[in-house]
Structure 1
Amino acid sequence: MSDTTAIIKTIQEKAVRLNDAADVADEILSLVGDAGFVLIGEASHGTHEFYRCRAEITKRLIAEKGFSAVAVEADFPDAYRVNRFVRGFGADETADGALSNFQRFPLWMWRNRDVLEFVQWLREHNANKTQPEQAGFYGIDLYSLHASIEAVLSYLEKVDPDAAKQARSRYSCFEHFGEDAQSYGYAASYDERFSCEDEVIKQLLDLQRRAAEYANR
């Protein structure tokens, strides 16, 4: 038996057929067991059927398995606005508004009906739960270098203007590369003298150290 034939045979034996998005087989949930992480992908971005199935599986993982975080392939600041909405402490009144920070191509990857409905479901799911019991929505992509910097500076300007000045000074390390984050990445990978890592870590540690203090302001 060739390797290809063996792979096909294994897929045929292990695959679980879904006839409909709502038909999330119990067998899929049983495969999770006591796992702390479940990775859900799709064969192509922007395909309604995949997005719909992914949303239904995620709902059941949250509702029945107690998962508390949805980590998506999206920029952190954009997704965190959604996180605030689903937890009930953001300024947005609608799921559509919460998703409006997604402006970078491809817009349709997150600003689509399936994600919209899932975000609304998650807000309703969290509504009657305490904060530790709620499920959050987070972005794990790092394309938003300057948007992330601006989010930190904007926050600090409100709660600690002096700290904002210090943060701005630390982040000035990136100014040599303008808006081209990729050029920074290339330069830092070839010569550590161009790296801004130390300054960014100092800023991160300061934010973490003073998080409780800022939360009470």
Structure 2
Amino acid sequence: MRVLVVEDHEELALTVAAGLRREGMAVDVVLDGPGALERASVHHYDVIVLDRDLPGLHGDEVCRSLAASGHPARMLMLTAAGTIDDRVAGLGAGADDYLPKPFAFAELVARIRALARRAQQALPTVLVRGDLRLDPATRIATRNGHRLPLSPKEFAVLELLLAAQGAVVSAEQLLERCWDEFADPFTQTVKVTVSRLRRKLGDPPLIETVPQAGYRI
């Protein structure tokens, strides 16, 4: 899952981003409204965590612009103002959910995951393929009943491949959805991660390489 955190309080933004990365998410950070629009125009995000009171462009305007452009990300709006009018204004601007500050980090994570699931309504809560089972909520993947010791990136790649339901996922798509903006597109990062994932999944092999196209389960 790839998340954009838009928050003008830099220390809070970096703290939230670090916590979300520990939860296995790929996270980018921007500190103002114009930066949010620029970043969202370049990358595909599953969820955008958007502070309402932003410099340069108010969070409501960022939200309206993204909604009008048809950006696929679900938007979770944050604000220090927790009145009903504030919540109504934020949701009216196009936000999918609303979380007042201060918030519990565990609730933030739960809301982000809920929004990501809502964006993919056709997918089951638990992804299953043969004897392979992956639960995004608990971050547990098993094969033949045995828990797999996956790194956050390996888990993210496996989740995306399973969510594709047999369709081919290109290396570029994996890099875009499972890594942040600092990933070097010219490295062998995806290939190496898929290779490690194959070893951990064991036999019989589950991940197929489709020449000149990508990978599929």
TM range, smaller chain = under 0.3
Higher strand share: 2
**TM-score between the two structures when normalised by the length of structure 2:** 0.26
> Is the helix fraction higher in 1 or 2?
1
| TM-score (normalizing by structure 1) | 0.26
User: Which structure has the larger Rg?
Assistant: 1
